[in-house]
Amino acid sequence: MNQKREIFFSVDVETSGPIPGQFSLLTIGACNVDAPDQVFSCLLKPISANVDTEAMAVTGLSLETLALEGLTPEIAMRQFQDWVLTIAGKDSMPVFVGLNASFDWSFINYYFHRYLQSNPFGFSALDIKSLYMGATGSCWTDTRSSRMAATLHPQSSGNHNALQDALYQAELFRLIRAIVPGPSENPSA
């Protein structure tokens, strides 16, 4: 059986609110987890005027500026897809990795399907919080990035800039992966 090599992509987004479709994807940041110098970042034009004031305060972005400087969603998602597929190559499978992946993946999946009719990551995502919980036996409340950082001691930090956060998440993922036995090390495998 020929299994494709997995290429892990750390992805972070900033949005204008909690759900895709009603609120806008504002920025995407991504990196290859195992080659973090391979990065992607873009700003997107908003698809609606709906905002959650707390979400916008966190991002430091404005819909007016993004309407002028952002890419259309079609162009942004095409560029992101092309970058993912170029990094992954034909013989590898891209795997979406996120800190609270369910949130970030929901926007990315919605935008890929709405604007390109397909998602290069398929229909699933790998959640760093869940991996950490399984690797350490921690409780859910201990999966906040600040609590993970206190245990894992990463060199970088997050700051609500999508690319910086993707790089930070990639580092957390690598640190967690280092404490999890691989498939050949798993006694039940």
Q: Which of 119, 92, 116, 94 has the alpha carbon at shortest distance from 105? A: 119
User: Cα separations (Å) of 52 from 10, 23, 104, 144?
Assistant: 25, 8, 16, 22
Q: In this structure, what are the phi and psi dihedrals at residue 124, rounded to the nearest 5 degrees?
A: -145, 165
Cβ of 168: how many Cβ atoms within 10 Å?
A: 24
147, 160, 174, 177: which is the annotated catalytic residue?
A: 160
Reply yes or no on whether 113 is catalytic: no
Alpha-carbon gap, residue 11 to 139, rounded angstroms: 24
- Residues carrying an active site annotation: 160
